[in-house]
């Protein structure tokens, strides 16, 4: 069977054999995605509904992961948590990447005054403690899932924009870009059809790390009680666990922890694997 490679010139299948992180990550991500898709078949309970059990209940055949103090089903909430995590990470990272490209691409391509202004703004955002800024913004605007995703993206683009700019600086001196200039293509075309595609590979690693970062940030907000109260977030489960573990409810801590760690780990391994493929010379 031939594997279609997503980057020209790379045989994905043979790379999978050589990059162990990528192999493990693929397995983990497949399981996670499978569970996210089949959540509705695996449980017919609602994630945030209370009263399925009289109180804190240890795992049984009826409640495979037990229930919390208010009788919410840990299994159902944990599974729905995958969807929340995936939506948060995919949507916010896409927005982050778009902003980063819109800032980094013209900054690197045109240089000069524009570059200086854009990079000063980038440095400014890079130097403020991000989590406090996010907390502050979530308090000011109401904590709906959409707002949280927006806020995460708006404050996460700077490091990615720097990567884009640095790549553009090196790509724009290459012959094919110079050639496009000579034949009189306009800057917009050159930027998006000649420069941008070549900036994509180095951005992949950073984007993957951005995804795991977004999951942790959303869960962190929810843990502090600043998340969307109508969303099934692992962060809020873990804040519920704070009281439950004193009553012996270790399952309220264990299961969401395992899922969030596995998801973040899978994405971090993906970043490692991509790095192995894209920078074969880097120290391993």
Partner 1 sequence: MPSGTREYLLKRVVISCLMIPAIIVFTFLLLRLAPGDPAVMMAGEGATPDFVEMIRKVYGLDKPLYEQLAIYMSKLLTGDFGYSFTFKRPVLEVILDRVPTTILLAGTGALIAIAFGVLLGVVAAIKKDSFTDSAISSLTLILYSIPIFALAQFLVLFLVIQYRLFPLSGYVSLGVSPSDPLKFTLDVLWHLVLPASSLALIQMATYVKLTRTSMIEALYSNYIIAARARGLNSRRILLRHALKNALLPIVTMAGIQLGLIIGGVVITETIFSWPGVGRLTIEAIDARDFPLLLGIFIFTSVSVVVANIVTDIVYTYIDPRVKLR
Q: Is 261 near partner 1 (CB under 8 A)?
A: yes
Residue closer to partner 1 (CB basis): 129 or 184: 129
Q: How far is the CB of 225 from partner 1 (least distance, A)?
A: 8
Q: Is 260 near partner 1 (CB under 8 A)?
A: yes
Give the residue among 48, 38, 46, 32 at the shortest CA–CA distance from 227: 48
Q: Is 283 near partner 1 (CB under 8 A)?
A: yes
Residue closer to partner 1 (CB basis): 114 or 128: 128
The one among 139, 170, 187, 192 contacting partner 1 by CB under 8 A: 139
Burial of 73 (0-12, 13-18, 19+ CB in 10 A): buried
- For 178, residues 6+ apart whose C-beta sits below 8 A from its C-beta are none
What residues between 196 and 225 interact with partner 1 by CB under 8 A?
Answer: 212, 216-217, 219-220, 223-224
Q: How far is the CB of 4 from partner 1 (least distance, A)?
A: 29
The one among 148, 211, 226, 270 contacting partner 1 by CB under 8 A: 226
Residue closer to partner 1 (CB basis): 159 or 198: 159
- For 236, residues 6+ apart whose C-beta sits below 8 A from its C-beta are 222, 223, 225, 227, 229
**From its phi and psi, is residue 11 left (phi > 0), alpha (psi between -120 and 50) or beta?**
beta
Give the residue among 251, 258, 257 at the shortest CA–CA distance from 64: 251
The count of residues in the chain is 284
The one among 42, 242, 279, 280 contacting partner 1 by CB under 8 A: 242
| 93-122 footprint of partner 1 as x/- string (CB under 8 A) | ------------------------------
The one among 68, 194, 228, 272 contacting partner 1 by CB under 8 A: 272
Q: Is 281 near partner 1 (CB under 8 A)?
A: no
Q: How far is the CB of 204 from partner 1 (least distance, A)?
A: 19
Rounded to 5 degrees, what are φ and ψ at 213?
-65, -40
Q: Which region among 60-68, 78-86, 95-103, 254-262 touches partner 1 (by CB under 8 A)?
A: 254-262
Q: Is 9 near partner 1 (CB under 8 A)?
A: no
Q: Is 16 near partner 1 (CB under 8 A)?
A: no
The torsion defined by the Cα of 185, 191, 194 and 198, in degrees rounded to 10, comes to 170
Q: Is 88 near partner 1 (CB under 8 A)?
A: no
Query: How many other C-beta atoms can be found within 10 angstroms of the C-beta atom of residue 218?
Result: 29
- For 140, residues 6+ apart whose C-beta sits below 8 A from its C-beta are none
- Which DSSP string do the residues of 56-118 spell out, in sequence order? -B---SSSTT-B-TT--BHHHHHHHHHHHHHHHHHHHHHHHHHHHHHHHHHHHHH-HHHHHHH
What is the CA 58 to chain-centroid distance, rounded?
A: 32
Q: Is 256 near partner 1 (CB under 8 A)?
A: yes
The one among 137, 145, 150, 278 contacting partner 1 by CB under 8 A: 137
**Residues making contact with partner 1 (CB under 8 A):** 124, 127-133, 135-137, 139-141, 212, 216-217, 219-220, 223-224, 226, 235, 238-239, 241-242, 245-246, 250, 253, 256-257, 260-261, 264-265, 268-269, 272, 283
């Amino acid at each position: 069977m031939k594997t279609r490679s997503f980057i020209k010139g790379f045989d994905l299948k043979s790379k999978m054999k050589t990059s162990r992180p990528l192999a493990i990550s693929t397995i983990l991500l497949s399981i996670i995605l499978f569970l996210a898709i089949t959540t509705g078949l695996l449980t017919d309970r609602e994630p945030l509904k209370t009263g399925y059990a009289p109180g804190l209940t240890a795992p049984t055949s009826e409640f495979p992961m037990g229930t919390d103090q208010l009788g919410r089903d840990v299994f159902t909430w944990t599974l729905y948590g995958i969807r929340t995590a995936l939506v948060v990470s995919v949507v916010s990272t896409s927005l982050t990447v778009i902003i980063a490209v819109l800032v980094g691409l013209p900054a690197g391509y045109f240089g000069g005054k524009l570059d200086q202004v854009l990079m000063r703004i980038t440095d400014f955002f890079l130097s403020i403690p991000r989590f406090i800024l996010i907390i502050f913004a979530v308090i000011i605007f109401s904590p709906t899932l959409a707002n949280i995703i927006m806020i995460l993206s708006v404050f996460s683009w700077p490091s990615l924009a720097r990567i884009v700019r640095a790549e553009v600086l090196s790509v724009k001196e290459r012959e094919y870009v110079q050639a496009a200039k000579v034949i009189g293509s306009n800057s917009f075309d050159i930027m998006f059809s000649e420069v941008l595609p070549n900036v994509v590979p180095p951005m992949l690693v950073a984007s993957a790390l951005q995804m795991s970062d977004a999951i942790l940030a959303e869960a962190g907000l929810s843990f502090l009680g600043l998340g969307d109260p109508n969303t099934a977030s692992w962060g809020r489960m873990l804040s519920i666990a704070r009281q439950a573990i004193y009553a012996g409810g270790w399952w309220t801590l264990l299961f969401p922890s395992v899922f969030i760690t596995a998801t973040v780990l899978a994405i971090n391994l993906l970043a490692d694997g991509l790095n192995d493929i894209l920078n074969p010379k880097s120290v391993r």
